[in-house]
Structure 1
Amino acid sequence: MSAQLWTDRAREHPLECDHCHYPIPGDPEESDDGRYCSIACREAAADESTLPDPEAYKRFVTGVEPIDSLVPNGVPADSFLLLSGDEGTRRAELGTELVWRALERGEPAVVVSFANPPTATLERFYGNGWNVLPALENGRLRIIDCFTHRLDDRDEFREHRTDWATFVGEAAGDAIVAVRDPSDRREVANTLHRALDDLEMTETGLVTIDSLDELESLLQEQLVHDFIKDVRATVCKARFVPIVAAATTAGQNGYPEEEYVFDGIVDLRLTDHLVADTRLKQLAVRKLIGGEVLPQWVTYEHEPARGLFAFGPNTDPQQVYDLGNASPRANGPR
């Protein structure tokens, strides 16, 4: 039986490499300018190459209360996440809020919209009281339109839009990129890459895909797998830009590729077992490679401006769902 080796260096306070900023596991490589974990780092530093602190870009806090309560140390930024849930769980609102929280942090964002035209995608923000017009104008938000070119009559669609939808569409015109053939996964991926280049999205920002179900209706299952695999590698892993995609679990046991294609899975469900005659929404993080997760379900609801919020098992649901204090205005101005 070999003797166990111990180091005199305290594990709580390891030396940090002056180039890559990671702990130095053994004796450091030293120079006049610092201490390094390896010859590669020492030589890179000598060439005046610099690397940012990994904590500055390798993890991010979503800003969405129920998710952050379950992921105490943040989400790895090289993750491809799946939002997998029942209909009625506010899955679309969650995707919208993730984008808004990124914009609030001053980061850029790209929304790949398969399920809705761009104006409807933007309306989800306005419906929550989140004005994205400045982000559209200053180049921090891009909408990749994988919907409009699938319409039989695009001119008729535009002709019958409301004044508000017409205004939003025109104001956001430069920020909307149309995909002429959304059934071509390479065209979708190339359009995404160009948008990321235009917004200089490396080690910053967020991408959302509103519906993998719509994508699957356009592509064969194997091609959906290939698309996810490709953008996970070229966007998440290469650029450290996370992608969040949504899919429904209605009529199936779960998205077929989820167990091994995705880095993280957030499950959303409806349950009527907690409170009599009340169907509550819950979410849990089933999987998150490289991240710490609390293994529990969180009960949540959604409120405009506030977004998704968690509440405990002892909270009176009447307090959460008491909407009688506000009087709606019928046909009021937008």
Structure 2
Amino acid sequence: MSDQRWTEPTAEYPLECDHCHYPIPNEPVASEDGRYCSIACREAAADGATLPEPEAYKRVVTGVEPIDSLVPNGIPADSFLLLAGDEGTSRAELGIELVWRALERGEPAVVVSLANPPTATLERFYQNGWNVLPALENDRLRLIDCYTHRLDDRDGFSEQRTEWPTFIGEAAADAIVEVRDPSDRREVTHSLTGALDDLEMSETGLVTIDSLDELERIFQDRQVHDFVEEIRATVCKARFVPIIAAASTADEDSPESEYVFDGIIDLRLTDQRPSNTRRKQLAIRKLIGAQFLPQWISYDHEPARGLFASSPNAGTQQGYDLGNERSQPDRL
């Protein structure tokens, strides 16, 4: 989480409430045991209730260099973020790294696996040199398996696995939550919230969804939209646990639903001349509740290191125009 004090009292409001820890805009409410901004805070403190400092859980510094360089004070923890980018932009690697950085901080994480079986999802960590076995054994990582039950021959799939996938599948057995009917939105939601309860995820950790494209193929009509709205309310807003979902931007016929997301991170490939190379770039299109730098930043990816800013002055567009520089359509 962020170490920066984003609610620090100002010269205009120098006093801080002893219960909610926010600045006191008027005269403190009279009390013998502290200074309070309101009767509600004074009564809650008298009843023995305590609240943590807001910066302890309301902002997340992701640990991913290109993102943190654009959001210096951290991402609001009650955000539902969309990673919107085409193939080749390391979108999947970014989702995996966000989970790993949370585990590195000692926080729990939940991965909703739609595009791959859970053993393949776990293998993405190992391809980057990130060993998640300790997190699995310490009950800090859960995988919501929305893939396996879509297979016609599940037994055959298990029998055909080689030694390593078999080993990692057995080691992760207790951490995998199988969804028997991924087309049932309520079952997917119940599996997710059950995992959050088991890991006691409130004001800590994060959730990633590897593919809204796959979810759209499984669900029908407006179910993806309704699913996003529901877990945004019950997970992000109620628990202060951020959700990051990935989606391709290839299908331009999909209806736009930008408003349902608190933040959108665009990833794109650009042609560089005269070098005739393709450069990966990342930008924050929107992020409610936080300041961000309105520019494209070039990045690359390496195993173990993850995503990192590359040639910061090359291909960077200052003054990112949200109306004219939008390179991809919204997705849901």
- Specify if TM > 0.5: yes
Equivalent pair of 2:13/2:24 in contact (CA under 8 Å): no
State the partner residue of 1:91: 91
1:250 lines up with 2:250 in the alignment: yes
Mark the runs of 5 or more structure 2 residues left unpaired by the alignment: 1-8, 316-332
Specify the SS of the correspondent of 1:301.
strand
User: What secondary structure is seen at the aligned counterpart in 2 of 1:63?
Assistant: coil
Name the structure 2 match of 1:133: 133
Could you tell me how far apart the structure 1 residues matched to 2:278 and 2:269 are? 6
Would you say the 8 A contact 1:258–1:265 is kept in 2? no
Counterpart Cα distance in 1 of 2:221 and 2:255:
9
Deviations 1:113-153 (A, max 9, x none): 00000000000000000000000011000000000000010
2: distance between equivalents of 1:30 and 1:213? 55
Question: Aligned to 1:142, what secondary structure does the other structure show?
Answer: strand
Secondary structure of 1:111 counterpart: strand
Q: Look up the match of 2:304.
A: 305
> Could you tell me which residue of structure 2 aligns to residue 321 of structure 1?
none
| AA aligned opposite 1:288 | L
For residue 274 of structure 1, report the CA deviation from its aligned partner.
Answer: 5.7
Residue 114 of structure 2: aligned partner: 114
Quote how far apart the aligned CAs of 1:12 are: 5.3
Alignment of 1:176-195 (within 5 A): 176-195=176-195
Partner of 2:322: none
Cα distance in structure 2, aligned partners of 1:13 and 1:24: 6
Structure 1 residue 275, shift from structure 2 partner: 5.5
Aligned twin of 1:213: 213
Distance change >3 Å, CA 180–CA 113, structure 1 → 2: same
Alpha-carbon distance between aligned partners in 2 of 1:76 and 1:304, rounded to the nearest angstrom? 27
Tell me, in whole angstroms, the C-alpha distance in 1 between the residues paired with 2:112 and 2:221.
Answer: 19
* Residue of structure 2 equivalent to 1:332: none
Label 1:205 to 1:314 Cα distance change in 2 as closer, same or farther (>3 A): closer
| Distance in 1 between residues matched to 2:274 and 2:123, nearest whole Å | 33
Aligned pairs, how many? 307
Alignment-derived partner of residue 238 in structure 2: 238
Structure 1 unmatched ranges of 5 or more: 1-8, 317-334
Indicate if the aligned counterparts of 2:298 and 2:314 stay in contact, CA closer than 8 A: no
CA gap of 1:208–1:92, structure 2 versus 1, over 3 A, is: same
- Residue number in structure 2 paired with 1:29: 29
Aligned pairs (5 A) from 1:98-177: 98-177=98-177
- Give the corresponding residue for 2:71: 71
Deviation, structure 1 residue 276:
2.4
Deviation at 1:30, TM superposition (A): 2.4
- Which residue identity lines up with residue 296 of structure 2 in the other structure? W
Name the counterpart of 1:331.
none
1:71 Cα deviation from its structure 2 partner: 0.3
**TM-score of the superposition, structure 1-length normalised?**
0.89
Deviation track 1:185-206 (CA, whole Å, cap 9, x = no partner) reads 1000000010000000000010
* 1:29-52 deviation per Cα after TM superposition (whole angstroms, max 9, x unaligned): 021111100000011111111011
- Between the aligned partners of 1:58 and 1:241, the Cα distance in structure 2 is 9
CA separation in 2, counterparts of 1:142 and 1:294?
33
Q: Which amino acid aligns with 2:16?
A: E
Structure 1 segments of 4+ aligned residues over 6 angstroms from their partners: none
Q: How far does residue 273 in structure 1 lie from its aligned partner after superposition?
A: 3.5
Say whether the 8 Å CA contact 1:82–1:258 is kept in structure 2. Answer: no
Asked which structure has the greater CA Rg, the reply is 1
TM-score by length of 2: 0.90
C-alpha offsets along residues 85-106 of structure 1, whole Å, 9 cap, x if unaligned? 0111000000000000000000
SS, match of residue 11 in structure 1: coil
Q: Provide the alpha-carbon RMSD of the alignment.
A: 1.6
